[in-house]
Structure 1
Amino acid sequence: MPKEVAKTNTQVQIKLLNLTEQYKYYITIIMANESINLIKWDTTIDGKLSDASMEEKLQRMGYHSIKYTFSPGTDFPDHTHNVTKMDAITTGKFFFSMHGQNLVMEPGDIVEVPKQVVHNAHVVGSESVTFFDSTKR
């Protein structure tokens, strides 16, 4: 059964949807008919978060990943991609903006980045970010 929480004064709805046994919780932030799809790490399903376990989860989702380390101060101005991607982090904090919405990714977060959608991002704080750039196999 989906659980829903709505903040109508900001036109933001957060829905926790039961997807599959592998991906139990899926959080969607919806604003102005555009959305940022965010998958949160769930230790009861995914186990302990590590680079290896994140890569394994992305593989189960059908994605091939390349791991990067971004230093504090790393900034990615507005850009697009020719394919839909999943971006994930296992360390640090990563500001992400798309569809006029902002969020700060934390370790274990996975964000879907649709093809040809303008977005930007940057490392938050003084800790490096371990980042997985993932595309469909």
Structure 2
Amino acid sequence: MLQIIDEKKVIAAGRAFFNSFKQLNRQERSQLLDFAAFDSVEKTVAFQKCYNQALSIDKQADVAFYAKVTAIFVFSPRSGTFTDTENGQNFGYFLRENGVIPVILAESLFKSSHFDKLVEEVEVLLSRHKPHHQLDFGLLIKDLYLIYRDALF
């Protein structure tokens, strides 16, 4: 049975996470990049700083989920890293023109046996979050979380 989530809390936590994420200094961004593997990013001080902001709003914030989402933002085989962007603040780079998460990261993130269907869902939801400069990271976190949860259960 799927757990019921408090969508407002998830959205607020997502916004808090990314507001903290945008405030990371160059050294902290480099630290995340050094540990961008999905199984180690959550061990970094930089990640914990952001995650604690989400946790302060949503006590059930899933550390593994936030670690995977962070990995999407710090490393993309198609488009470089967020540290390459102006002031490290252009977090919409991975959406590309057609709003698709790089396939290798989507596959690693969701690990679903219905992968093709899942990629379609991700493409649709990300296309709703354009243009890049108007991304609402709280809503994006909520939508990604719902897909992530559904893929797991």
Confirm or deny a common fold (TM above 0.5).
no
Which has the larger share of helix? Answer: 2
Bigger strand fraction: 1
Query: TM-score, normalised to structure 1's length?
Result: 0.34
Compare relative contact order (CA 8 Å, sep 6+) and give the higher one, 1 or 2. Answer: 2
> What's the TM-score once normalised by structure 2's chain length?
0.31
